Structure 1
């Protein structure tokens, strides 16, 4: 994958020496995050992961570790919020507990669950299909529009997370990987059965999520892999989607990254670290 110049400029915010250290073969690598990092629907799952995490052995962290010969400790988990990275959650330790002084690379994809991003998409799509009699309304969950307080809390948590990474793994390169693009910039398709107001809300939420994540990376002196830009032409309605639509094919996870997406992210990270 050849990264656009603007993407490389965003990635190479740290010195090449630091990046080289993070990319050394056998370096310790910790991957944290929510379902967009874990990879639900992409079998096989890690046998030692809690069942609810749906942590794929084909997610971008696992593929990056294979490409670079890194020692990966993948603690990502579906449904995780930023607090699950910082504090124990669902009888699991805080994800950040996986870091140590030997950690040289940390990737993070998180925040969507803090603001109800994918949950809102799922609820709206289910509701539309239920109104058409295509699914039972009992399957659909309600979703609320994220508030300014939600985004402010997310920003604080991301800053806290970056600071905690610096304390626990002072020699690590921290890379925030933002959320892949789910919907086209305008219009919809059969793979995205949404009312237009719900689609517009999802686009606004995605834009705010990117802005908050970008600001956290910039303030922390961390890197940002702009997955949203890399996947801008691979949304759920594209001819070559990196995103399952709704409903997903058997075994897939609606509005989540497919195999092509995870391979694309791993390749982009591999190229960035190689530079």
Structure 2
């Protein structure tokens, strides 16, 4: 995901990606829970969020109206999913109650956030990490934990610094890394199974500045994942491959939600989530 204010295993060669995509699209649906449980964590990408410009307000009253890569992967692998993600979650708000989020429990300059107005996929009080730790303690049959988080930290940096996070970018990444280490450390204290961080995609692979920023964020995710014996589902490369026929433009490729006034939102379409589910399948294999 490129950093515009709004809200380690890498993908192998193209043949392996095609094989994984074929597996996901042709595998028969299995009974939920047949192969254990899957805990999905993170922000609006993991939630399957769609912006208000293309979504009736009534849809937000039922979280089941939002389905992303986690739901796709769980359905096709027969896993019982608990998706605790929250739109606008930052690494800080995931780790510490009351910390600044980008629209999850609070918003910049406001105590109101998504979860104070609308239901999440699962109900909990406290932080998302509190829920995750309690869930893993209660469900030792959990077979997979995935996490997408970090982009909102940098959106906040853009919106709170005079130069829109240009000079503060390295420091923001360092703080993100410390927070993420705290999150993964707490997860690993309860869980020793597959832990996969789903990395971010670029909004435009033709833009070298944006690509550089996303790579920097994904590098942090990869470094922390390795430290805690996790894997990376390479969303960056998966989106790049899927955008090749459109010259590196995920919007034109139909991977990002088109807006009525033109252009695209930062969030994936159903097709974009299928691409991320494919990357998850490769990493979790």
Q: TM-score, normalised by structure 2?
A: 0.65
Cα drift, residue 108 of structure 1: 0.4
> Equivalent residue of 2:268, what SS?
coil
Please report how far the alpha carbon of residue 5 of structure 1 lies from its aligned counterpart in structure 2 after TM superposition.
3.6
Per-residue CA shift, 1:117-175, capped at 9, x if unaligned? 8x95xx8xxxxxxxxxxxxxxxxxx944343221110011111111111113x233110
For 1:181 and 1:7, locate their aligned partners in 2 and report how far apart those are by CA, in whole Å.
22
Report the RMSD for the aligned CA atoms in angstroms. 3.5
Q: How many pairs are equivalent?
A: 218
Cα deviation for residue 61 of structure 1 reads 0.6
1:32 matched residue in structure 2: 41
Structure 1 position 204, deviation (Å): 2.8
In the alignment, the residues of structure 1 paired with residue 60 and residue 37 of structure 2 have an alpha-carbon distance, to the nearest angstrom, of 18
How far apart are the structure 2 equivalents of 1:208 and 1:268? 19
Structure 2 stretches of 5 or more lacking a match?
Answer: 1-10, 18-32, 99-104, 106-115, 117-124
Structure 2 residue aligned with 1:257, among 268, 274, 277?
268
Look up the match of 1:64.
73
Can you list the C-alpha shifts for 1:41-90, whole angstroms capped at 9, x where unaligned? Answer: 187967565xxxxx853201111111111111111111110122223352
- Residue in 2 that maps onto 1:95: 128
Cα 1:172–1:259 shift into 2, 3 Å:
same
> Equivalent residues in 2 for 1:108-187 (5 A)?
108-116=147-155, 143-145=164-166, 146-168=168-190, 170-186=191-207
Normalised TM-score (structure 1): 0.67
Alignment of 1:8-87 (within 5 A): 25-41=34-50, 49=63, 57-87=66-96
Does structure 2 conserve the Cα–Cα contact (< 8 Å) formed by 1:64 and 1:266?
Answer: yes
Distance in 1 (CA, whole Å) between partners of 2:15 and 2:91 is 25
- Classify the secondary structure of the residue corresponding to 1:256: strand
